[in-house]
Amino acid sequence: AQSVTQPDIHITVSEGASLELRCNYSYGATPYLFWYVQSPGQGLQLLLKYFSGDTLVQGIKGFEAEFKRSQSSFNLRKPSVHWSDAAEYFCAVVPGSSNTGKLIFGQGTTLQVKP
Amino acid sequence: DTAVSQTPKYLVTQMGNDKSIKCEQNLGHDTMYWYKQDSKKFLKIMFSYNNKELIINETVPNRFSPKSPDKAHLNLHINSLELGDSAVYFCASSQGGTRVLGTQYFGPGTRLLVL
């Protein structure tokens, strides 16, 4: 079945440590890929997106993500986490075959940052 | 200036009531969306309108009826509220109709609790 999977429900890292959040998708055609962040009590904010081209994309707040076609993955990374990064992170896709731009979200990963 | 605004922010109501949630965007976008986020933080699209025309209509009970009086507004009316309707409802907007290149901007959410 077509899906977006974020294997880690909850991750805790120390402030200043590196971070990697995983995202896998299962669609026949390469989808359009997104990472969103949701701070507590807030709406979602786009961190970055991948449509084509360079497989390493840079986003806001120092985040980057790498598209790996062979692994059907689009993992989000940050070299040094700040306490303000504590939030819910969502990977999302628009299937390559879509003609409606419908976003399909993963289950989300809750990031906790230890001082 | 709030780009995508929703009212009310919180809504507590009894089962069987009818309620509306309003959404307005001042970004000049031509496409608007409604998403539902359940208690497990899973996000799923419900509806999408492009230039006041319905383009995405997911499997949603017909108790939910979106209404778009103009491009800047997309309201959600819910009849005969049920306990399972308790969730956070997010409005979003984007530019470009069904083209996936349009980044979706999200409102702060409306937290609905049905008692």
Inter-chain Cβ pairs, chain A and chain B, closer than 8 A:
58
Question: pLDDT by residue (tens digit) across B8-39?
Answer: 999 999 999 999 999 999 999 989 999 999 99
Mutate to test the interface with B, among A44, A60, A99 (most CBs of B within 10 A): A44
- Report the pLDDT value the prediction gives residue B55, as an integer from 0 to 100: 83
Q: How far is B80 from chain A (nearest CA, A)?
A: 26
Q: Are A75 and A11 in contact (CB under 8 A)?
A: no
Closest CA to A4 of A110, A94, A106: A106
Answer whether residue B98 shows pLDDT above 80. no
Q: Is B44 close to A105, i.e. CB distance below 8 A?
A: yes
User: For the segment A63-94, what is each residue's pLDDT rounded down to a tens digit?
Assistant: 999 999 999 999 999 999 999 999 999 999 98
Give per-10-residue mean pLDDT for chain A (115 aa): 88 97 87 92 90 93 95 96 96 80 90 95
Lowest-pLDDT range of A78-87, B43-52, B104-113? B43-52
Q: Is the pLDDT of residue B108 over 70?
A: yes
| Average pLDDT score over residue span B54-68 | 88
Nearest CA in chain A to B38: A107
Q: How high does pLDDT run on average in chain B?
A: 90
Q: Interface of chain A against chain B, CB under 8 Å? A: 32, 36, 38, 41-46, 49, 51, 88, 90, 94, 98-105, 107-108
Nearest residue of chain A to residue B46 (CA atoms): A102
Task: Give the minimum alpha-carbon distance from B98 to chain A in angstroms, rounded to a whole number.
Answer: 5
Using an 8 Å Cβ cutoff, are A14 and A113 in contact? yes
CA distance, residue A81 to nearest chain B CA (Å): 23
The mean per-residue pLDDT over the stretch B63-86 comes to: 94
Residues of A with Cβ-Cβ distance to B48 under 8 angstroms: 100-102
CB nearest A51 (choices: B92, B96, B101): B101
**Residue contact B4–A43, C-beta within 8 A:** yes
Phi, psi of B5 (to 5 degrees): -120, 150
Evaluate if residue B75 carries a pLDDT over 90.
yes
Q: Which two tokens stand for residue B39?
A: 């208690």
Classify residue B111 by burial, with Cβ atoms within 10 Å: 0-12, 13-18, 19+: middle
CA distance A70 to chain B (A): 23
